[in-house]
Structure 1
Amino acid sequence: MRTGAAAGHVGYFHEAVLYDSDEHLLAVVVPFLLGGVAAGEPAIVGFGERNAELVRRALPAGAEVTFLPGGEVYARPTSAIRSYRKLLAGYVAQGVGQIRIVGELPPIVFGATWDWWARYESAINHAYDDFPLWSMCAYDTRRTPPPVLSDVARTHPRVARPDGSHPPSPTYTPPESYLTEPRPMVVDPVQRTAPLVELTDPSPARARAAVQAADRGHLRPEVVEDLMVAVSEMVTNALRHGTAPVRLRLWSARDRIVVTVHDRGEGPKDPYAGLLPAGDGSAGGLGLWISHQACDHVSLHREADGFTVRLTAGNPHVPV
């Protein structure tokens, strides 16, 4: 049985908390969690260290609230979706009628890697809709860049406010539309230099060899190996499902390797490609799923001249 603002709702009840003070955050989150405790529902916090401690101190002693290691949960979008779906499925197997979760993304993702986290916030409207979940995603408006807040409004159907209201977001965009919109690529600074490697219609083996040759020993061997697998998958996808020519470009910096694979096709038709497992592995969905788990950042871009996948191994959090 659903309770609170989600009473009568089927599936995922997804909200944003746009707060401008500690008091604002607590005024929304604490009643939300305690309402779950009172109803016998799992009440879970996936905050970073500071806000987790803030909430702990505001809760009454002995409140049955579970705190997750937020930094680990939000390592990559695919791992976050996989972890939460496993957690939610476990609770549903126990027969619970609703699960309440409050979470926040680490501020570092609001920079160069925000595009795939914006895709995450949109995709989970579908990915978690199998579960009786009510969640709130907290964003500090004092520190969150305006473009990020704009995406938050478009990816969260509702906003939770301190007065207990839950108005709909006027700019909310369903994921099937949001995830297929063309967006300009946020250029990594290393891409402003000449590529170390440029290949046209390379075989997957040649693409793997190019990545291996570009390694200067600054990255862990397993990171380079994962990138080799991801690049091979993306080249295979482009050759099989894209439109020739397929062009690979590679840049190498001290802390990262960046690779783009471009073809003149339209890219995958599945809006959730990469973030959710491909049901049948068709049209390159499995390769994108593998790449999203193997790399430290994956960016997808539809442009007038085709489709580009950019893969980053190493540190993706560079000033742009």
Structure 2
Amino acid sequence: MRTGAAHGHTGYFHAAVQYASDDELLAVTVPFLLGGVAAGEPTFVSFGERTAALVRSALPRDSGVQFLTGGDVYARPTAAIRSYRNLLAEQVAAGAGQIRIIGEMPVSAFGNTWDWWARYESAINHAYDDFPLWSMCAYDARITPEPVLADVARTHPRYALPGGTHVDSSTYADPRVYLAEAHPPVADPLQSGPATVELADPTPGQARHAVHAADRGQLPAADVDDLVVAVSETVTNALRYGAPPVLLRVWGGADRIVVTVTDGGPGPKDPYAGLMPALDSAAGGRGLWITHQSCNHVAACAGDDGWTIRMIAGNTAIA
């Protein structure tokens, strides 16, 4: 049984909360949470330390609202999707007719890695649509850049307002439309210089060796190993499903390793490739899923020379 604004809705009811003061946030959040508890619905908060404390202080003692802790839910988009889908499946299996969640991304997501978080916000309209979920994504307009807020409007069907009302987003785009658009990542300064290693039509083994050759011990061994797996999968996909030529470039920096793999093809047909596990292994879907879980940032974009995937291990807060 769906309640509140999601009454009568099937699937995922996705809303954004754009607020300019703590009072504005609480005016939306507290009734949403207490309404869920009153309806007997599993009700969760996934906020950072400051805003979680703010909401706790505004709720009655033993309110029944659950605060998600124990690790960064928003470490990577694929990890967030996997974590939330597991949580939702558990609640439905326990008999939930609706689940309520309000969450926020860390401020660090609004920087150079925002492109893949924008893709996440779009993709979850599909990724969570097989669950009776009503969720809100909170964005503090005082600290969120304008380009990010513009993407929020395009990836959320509606906005939640005080008083329990909702208004449609006038610029919302269907995920298949939004994800098919070109969203070039912020250029990494390392790429303005010569690559440490550059190979044409490399084998996966040569690609793995190239990553190790660029490693100067600046990263933890586990991070390098994860990048090696991601690059090997990406090169395999490019050779198998892309179009020649395939070009591998690797840059080794003081605090990160940047890798690009370009092939002459148009890229995957599946707009959710990388963010959700593929139903089959066609067109390299499984490899892209692995890649998105193995790197600190993954970006892909079509260009004049074909389809390029860029992977970064290490520091993504580039100048």
C-alpha deviations, 1:6-58, integer Å up to 9, x for none?
A: 00000000000000000000000000000001101011000000000000000
**Residue 251 of structure 1 corresponds to which residue in structure 2?**
251
Root mean square deviation, CA, Å: 1.0
Given residue 290 of structure 2, which amino acid in structure 1 is its aligned partner?
A: I
C-alpha deviations, 1:162-205, integer Å up to 9, x for none?
A: 13210110100010110011223320111122111111111110
Distance 1:184 1:41 in 2: 40
**Residue 199 of structure 1 corresponds to which residue in structure 2?**
199
Given residue 66 of structure 1, which amino acid in structure 2 is its aligned partner?
A: Q
Distance 2:305 2:70 in 1: 39
Given residue 235 of structure 1, which amino acid in structure 2 is its aligned partner?
A: V
Given residue 143 of structure 1, which amino acid in structure 2 is its aligned partner?
A: I
Give the superposition deviation at 1:73: 0.6
Distance 2:91 2:207 in 1: 43
**Residue 20 of structure 2 corresponds to which residue in structure 1?**
20
**Residue 218 of structure 1 corresponds to which residue in structure 2?**
218
Counting aligned pairs with the same residue, the percent is 67
Given residue 212 of structure 1, which amino acid in structure 2 is its aligned partner?
A: H
Given residue 105 of structure 2, which amino acid in structure 1 is its aligned partner?
A: L
Given residue 59 of structure 1, which amino acid in structure 2 is its aligned partner?
A: L
Give the superposition deviation at 1:303: 2.0
**Residue 153 of structure 1 corresponds to which residue in structure 2?**
153
**Residue 232 of structure 2 corresponds to which residue in structure 1?**
232
Equivalent position SS for 1:167: strand
Distance 2:272 2:133 in 1: 20
Matched, 1:59 2:48: no
**Residue 137 of structure 1 corresponds to which residue in structure 2?**
137
C-alpha deviations, 1:260-299, integer Å up to 9, x for none?
A: 0001100000000000001111101111000001111100
Deviating 4+ runs (over 2 angstroms): none
Native 8 Å contact 2:184 2:300 kept in 1: no
TM-score where L is the length of structure 2? 0.98
**Residue 116 of structure 1 corresponds to which residue in structure 2?**
116
Native 8 Å contact 2:300 2:308 kept in 1: yes
Give the superposition deviation at 1:71: 5.8
Q: Which runs of 5+ in 1 are unaligned?
A: none
C-alpha deviations, 1:230-263, integer Å up to 9, x for none?
A: 1011111111111111111111111110000001
TM-score where L is the length of structure 1? 0.98
Task: Describe the shift of the 1:58–1:7 C-alpha distance in structure 2 as closer, same or farther (beyond 3 A).
Answer: same
Give the superposition deviation at 1:69: 2.4
Native 8 Å contact 1:297 1:311 kept in 2: yes
Equivalent position SS for 1:73: coil
Given residue 86 of structure 2, which amino acid in structure 1 is its aligned partner?
A: K
Equivalent position SS for 2:10: coil
Distance 2:292 2:300 in 1: 11
Given residue 117 of structure 1, which amino acid in structure 2 is its aligned partner?
A: W
Distance 1:71 1:57 in 2: 22
Count of aligned pairs between the two proteins: 319
Native 8 Å contact 1:70 1:103 kept in 2: no
**Residue 280 of structure 2 corresponds to which residue in structure 1?**
280
Distance 2:271 2:163 in 1: 36
Distance 2:189 2:51 in 1: 32
Task: Describe the shift of the 1:303–1:180 C-alpha distance in structure 2 as closer, same or farther (beyond 3 A).
Answer: same
**Residue 40 of structure 1 corresponds to which residue in structure 2?**
40
Task: Describe the shift of the 1:187–1:70 C-alpha distance in structure 2 as closer, same or farther (beyond 3 A).
Answer: farther
Native 8 Å contact 2:247 2:261 kept in 1: yes
